[in-house]
Amino acid sequence: MSIAGIILTSGSGLAADTPATATSSQEALMDRGKAIVQQAFDLLSTNLATALKNGGISNALPYCSVAAAPLTKMTGDIRQVTLKRVTHKPRNLTNRASKQELAVIRRFQNALDQGTTPTSVLVTNELNKVTFLAPIVIQNELCLQCHGRPGQELKSETLNLVRSLYPKDEATGFKMGDLRGMWRVDFP
């Protein structure tokens, strides 16, 4: 599914000729997308924290490798949307961003490069369906234990475990404030 064009950027306002009903509908979709993403993030974070507490990184990494995708899907199913995380540097290759998704990731990265916080967007696809896209920016030092810079935040034993679970991993080398990817919520 390709992404055709941005119809609303959070906080940017709309063109003067946009009907009020379209504006309120877009705002409702933005709010719904944000709530879905927050619910998924909270669920993943809580489960990951439990796995860490129960056995450290050597328990959390294998847990994450099998549980993250099903937990994300479950949240989408409950909310009656298609929900996934995509990235320019995947750990799980099924999360690799498409060419169209990469264009939005670059937009988010450009905002960070200019010192501003990237904002979520709504886009339409070729079927005129709406998709909500939200940046994932590393804001917790804990993330760097598995996604950080090898030899710095990412210890060698953790890197070895990452490589054994994900032989084609690209998801290391991050630091605080880096763009990790984005959430994608496809509304029916």
- In angstroms, the CA 17 to CA 11 distance is 17
Give helix 57-79 / helix 156-165 axis angle, nearest 10°. 50
Q: What is the pLDDT of residue 90?
A: 97
Task: Return the pLDDT at 22.
Answer: 65
Q: What is the pLDDT of residue 7?
A: 43
Strand partners, 8: 122
In a domain, 13, yes or no: no
pLDDT at 128: 83
Residue 96 structural domain: 3-7+19-186
**Which tokens belong to 181?**
């990817």
Q: Check residue 46 and give its pLDDT.
A: 95
Task: Give the number of domains in the chain.
Answer: 1
Is residue 111 domain-resident?
yes
Beta-carbon count within 10 A of 144 CB: 18
Express each pLDDT in 7-40 by its tens digit: 444 433 323 334 455 678 999 999 999 999 999 9
In a domain, 64, yes or no: yes
Q: Using CA atoms, how far apart are residues 185 and 134, in angstroms rounded to an integer?
A: 9
Whether 99 is covered by a domain: the verdict is yes
How many angstroms separate the CA atoms of 149 and 178, rounded?
A: 12
Question: At which residue do the structure tokens 């063109």 appear?
Answer: 15
What residues of the chain score a pLDDT lower than 70?
A: 1-22
Query: Is position 178 within any domain?
Result: yes
Bridge partners (DSSP) listed for residue 185: 83, 132
- What is the pTM assigned to this prediction? 0.86
- Does residue 14 lie within any of the structural domains? no
pLDDT in tens, 161-170: 999 999 999 9
pLDDT at 92: 93
Q: Diameter of the chain by CA atoms?
A: 57
Q: What integer pLDDT is reported at residue 21 of this predicted model?
A: 57
Per the domain annotation, does 90 fall within a domain? yes
